[in-house]
Structures are given as structure tokens and as C-alpha cells.
């Protein structure tokens, strides 16, 4: 076998590492801020086609406060542009179809703590999955889960591959907690929304096959990473997975 010349790995300079760290902090703060906005503002009336002025003002105030904190920590983020982008993402989420449906529901909950026991028979003890659901509302025949994604917007096929496990685990946790099934799990792509454009979303129908795959994949991921399953929890953080 011939030797392959892979070249030398390029090591980022100290300045580049610092810049990457600043960018990462800004990205994490952006995700947390959009989630916080959507946690506290009124969802208004179901058939709203634009965000009311008073709600838009509240969104901006929350984003400004987050920007001030970020700058105080030493970030070089352009505060005004950052605030405008976050407010646009939050307004796009607010206008999205899943959130408008939630606004029409008689029972709606935000930032719901969840815990699911997953036992597919492959582990000596059941696995426990813990995290938060951004938005949960009741439809006539069951629950609907809504999750906000604030990172870049991949195509629908990639969203489905990336978040199928999360959708299934949400459904298992809500069903175990309430005794009622989850009908759908919708992932709202905030980065593609704005004050005039509802954020698009990708929706999973929750079927027995989806739940089966979720159990199997969660157990496999737990075997690979015993202390942590990389899924998103409250404000973009990971959900913890361990043995009961």
C-alpha cells in the first residue's frame, strides 16, 4: 500500500481561536435569546398575520438586553444588527404555522421539562432521557410538539435525518408523562423567518414505526456515548442520557 501524503494539519492561531470562541458565544446567545423570547411573549390570536406592535417591542427589549450582556462579556458583535436579526427570527417563529396552531389551543405549555424511560431490552437497565420541550399544545386527538431551531437552514431531507431521533424521544416522553399520544412533532427553522415571512417548518407524523426507531437509536447512542446523548434541550443545550 502506498503512503498517502495528508499534509500538515493547519492549527488555528491564537487570534483565530479567540475569534471562533467569540462567534460561538454569540451563536449560543442568539439561540438562547430566541428561545427565551418565544417562552415569555404572548402568542396572540391564532389568525394573526403580523406580530402586534406591543409584542414586537417586548421581543426587541429582550434582544437588546441579551446584546448588552454579550458586549459586556467582551464580544465584538455588532449589537444593532444582532438585535435586528434575532427579533426577525423570533417574529418568524411567532408567525409560523405550528405556533399559530398552538395559539388556538385551549391547552398550551412552554419550556416543558420532560423525562422518558427507554428500554428496548438491549441494556441491563432502562435508559433515562431528560430535557425540555420548547412548546407543547393539545389538539383534539393528542399532543403536538414544537421545537425551534436557530442554526443554519439545511434542506428538508437533512432536517429529517438529523431530528428524527429527537422527534421520537419527545413523543415517548410526552406520552409517558400524560398518557396521551403525540400526533406530530414540528421543527421550526427560525433562521429562515422574518417579521414578514413565517418561519418554515418540518413536521414528523408520530407513528409506531417512528417510536420504534427512536427507542433503538437512543439505546445505540447511549452505548456509544454512555454519559450524554447529543440532542437539544432547553435553549439549545444537550439532553442528558444515562442509566436509571
Question: Which three-class secondary structure string do you get for 44-76?
Answer: CCCCCCCCCHHHHHHHHHHHHHHHHHHHHCCCC
Query: In terms of domains, do 34 and 114 share one?
Result: no
Query: Residue 143 in contact with residue 136, Cβ under 8 Å?
Result: yes
The answer to whether 53 and 109 are in contact (CB under 8 A) is no
Same domain as 122, residue 83: no
The sign of the CA dihedral 186, 172, 150, 37 is: positive
Residues 30 and 130 in one domain: no
Domain boundaries, position 53: 15-94
Burial of residue 107 (CB within 10 Å: 0-12, 13-18, 19+) is: exposed
Asked if 108 and 75 sit in the same domain, the reply is no
Pairing relation of β-strands 182-189 and 142-149?
parallel
3-state secondary structure of 101: helix
Q: CA-CA distance, 213 to 185, in Å (whole number)?
A: 15
- State whether 80 and 130 are in the same domain: no
How many structural domains compose the chain? 2
Q: Of the residues 94, 129, 161, which one is the last residue of a structural domain?
A: 94
Q: Determine what percent of the chain is predicted with pLDDT higher than 90.
A: 63
Tell me the pLDDT tens digit for each residue of 187-241.
Answer: 999 999 999 999 999 999 999 999 999 988 888 876 665 444 434 455 544 344 3
Let me know whether 141 and 77 are in one domain.
no
Q: Domain of 157: which CATH number?
A: 3.90.320.10
- Please report the pLDDT score of residue 77 as a whole number: 73
Residues 6+ apart with CB under 8 A from 203: 98, 184, 185, 186, 187
Q: Are residues 32 and 128 in the same domain?
A: no
Q: Are residues 214 and 134 in the same domain?
A: yes
pLDDT in tens, 47-69: 999 999 999 999 999 999 999 98
> Are residues 70 and 44 both part of a single domain?
yes
Start-to-end Cα distance in the chain: 48
* Whole-number Å distance between alpha carbons of 158 and 136: 24
H/E segment holding residue 155: none
Residues 163 and 220 in one domain: yes
Domain assignment present for residue 5? The answer is no
- CA-to-CA distance for 111 and 94, rounded, in angstroms? 15
Residue that terminates a domain, selected from 94, 116, 144: 94
Say how far apart CA 239 and CA 84 lie, in whole Å. 29
Instruction: Give the pTM.
Output: 0.83
Looking at residues 3-20, what average pLDDT do you find?
49
- Domain end call among 58, 74, 94: 94
Q: Quick one: 121 and 207 in the same domain?
A: yes
Give residue for cell 396572540: 44
Q: Tell me what the mean pLDDT of segment 160-170 comes to.
A: 94
Query: What pLDDT is attached to residue 12?
Result: 57
Q: Is residue 10 part of a domain?
A: no
- Range in 34-38, 124-128, 193-197, 223-227 with the lowest mean pLDDT: 223-227
**Residue 232 per-residue DSSP state:** E
Amino acid at each position: 500500500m502506498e503512503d498517502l501524503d495528508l499534509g500538515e494539519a493547519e492549527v488555528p492561531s491564537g487570534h483565530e481561536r479567540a475569534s471562533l470562541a467569540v462567534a460561538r458565544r454569540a451563536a449560543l446567545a442568539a439561540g438562547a435569546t430566541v428561545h427565551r423570547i418565544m417562552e415569555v411573549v404572548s402568542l396572540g390570536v391564532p389568525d394573526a398575520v403580523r406580530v402586534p406592535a406591543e409584542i414586537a417591542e417586548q421581543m426587541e427589549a429582550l434582544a437588546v438586553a441579551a446584546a448588552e450582556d454579550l458586549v459586556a462579556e467582551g464580544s465584538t458583535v455588532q449589537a444593532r444588527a444582532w438585535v435586528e436579526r434575532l427579533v426577525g427570527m423570533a417574529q418568524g417563529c411567532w408567525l409560523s404555522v405550528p405556533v399559530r396552531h398552538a395559539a388556538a389551543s385551549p391547552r398550551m405549555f412552554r419550556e416543558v421539562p420532560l423525562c422518558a424511560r427507554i428500554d428496548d431490552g438491549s441494556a441491563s437497565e432502562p435508559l433515562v432521557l431528560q430535557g425540555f420541550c420548547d412548546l407543547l399544545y393539545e389538539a383534539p386527538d393528542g399532543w403536538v410538539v414544537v421545537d425551534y431551531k436557530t442554526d443554519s437552514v439545511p434542506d428538508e431531507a437533512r432536517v429529517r435525518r438529523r431530528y428524527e431521533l429527537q422527534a421520537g424521544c419527545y413523543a415517548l416522553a410526552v406520552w409517558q408523562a400524560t398518557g396521551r399520544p403525540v400526533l406530530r412533532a414540528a421543527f421550526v427553522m427560525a433562521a429562515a423567518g422574518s417579521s414578514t415571512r413565517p418561519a418554515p417548518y418540518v413536521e414528523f407524523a408520530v407513528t409506531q414505526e417512528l417510536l420504534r426507531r427512536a427507542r433503538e437509536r437512543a439505546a445505540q447512542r447511549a452505548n456509544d456515548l454512555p454519559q450524554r446523548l447529543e440532542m437539544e434541550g432547553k435553549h439549545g443545550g444537550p439532553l442528558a442520557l444515562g442509566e436509571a
